[in-house]
Amino acid sequence: MPKQKTHSGAKKRFSLTATGKVKFARPNKGHFLTVKNKSRKRKLRKGSYIAGKNQDNIKTLLCK
């Protein structure tokens, strides 16, 4: 049986921590930043972790 390939879109957007959590950057930080207020942009700076079944789905896309 052939090896499973890593999903190209997933490897650009998600990374795994040493403990096995899936880390990602918050969306909506690309453009139209003059419309968004300071506190919203500050909160978008920090990344976040994916939980639950979504975490398992992404790990399969990353072949982990």
Mean pLDDT throughout 35-60? 95
Tens digit of pLDDT for each residue in 2-31? 889 999 999 999 999 999 999 999 999 999
Assess whether pLDDT exceeds 90 at residue 48. yes
Task: Kindly indicate the confidence band of residue 1, based on its pLDDT and cuts at 50, 70 and 90.
Answer: confident
Domains of the chain: 8-61 (4.10.410)
Residue pair 29/41 in contact (Cβ under 8 Å)? The answer is yes
